[in-house]
Amino acid sequence: MPKSAAINHVGNRQEGDDAAPALDLGHLSRQTLGDQALETELLKLFDSQNAQFAARLRAPRQPGDMRARADLAHTLKGSARAVGAFALGEAAQAYEEALRRGDVRSAALCERLVAEIERAHREIGALLDNAER
């Protein structure tokens, strides 16, 4: 069985990055009871799921798809919070709520959500790359 890569929990900030990390690795570690192999697997699954969700969010809006988009945002909100991607979870919640209210700002909130997905993707990639070294 291949050796599992360990994720560095000591500051997952990128050099020169003043923004808060996209992922709270302490939260993830608590959720997995410190099982780093499980953390790695969850991050890979989360990243893969996010790529699929981002593609669906980027697709042109169709009449009557607000409920499906709100349900997608709801799913994303839960998975983001489970792994400690709290900013992504907040963006998903804002988008979901705007869609359910019929808020005209939902397009801008969708852009914010996609940006948070991309930020989490970059951070997960860097974490996994560093863990494999």
pLDDT digits (tens, 9 = 90+) for 43-83: 999 999 999 999 999 999 888 899 999 999 999 999 999 99
Nearest partner of 99 among 127, 74, 125, judged by Cα: 74
Please tell me which residue, 87 or 12, carries the higher pLDDT value.
Answer: 87
Nearest partner of 44 among 130, 132, 121, judged by Cα: 121
Q: Are the CB atoms for 50 and 121 separated by under 8 Å?
A: yes
DSSP-assigned letters across all residues of 55-117: HHHHSPP-TT-HHHHHHHHHHHHHHHHHHT-HHHHHHHHHHHHHHHHT-TTHHHHHHHHHHHH
- Name the percent of the chain lying above pLDDT 90: 74
- pLDDT for residue 18: 52
- Name the percent of the chain lying above pLDDT 70: 86
In angstroms, rounded to a whole number, what is the distance separating the alpha carbons of residues 133 and 53? 29
pLDDT band at 7 (very low <50, low <70, confident <90, very high): low
Please tell me which residue, 27 or 5, carries the higher pLDDT value.
Answer: 27
- pLDDT for residue 101: 94
- pLDDT for residue 133: 65
- pLDDT for residue 19: 75
Query: pTM of this prediction?
Result: 0.83
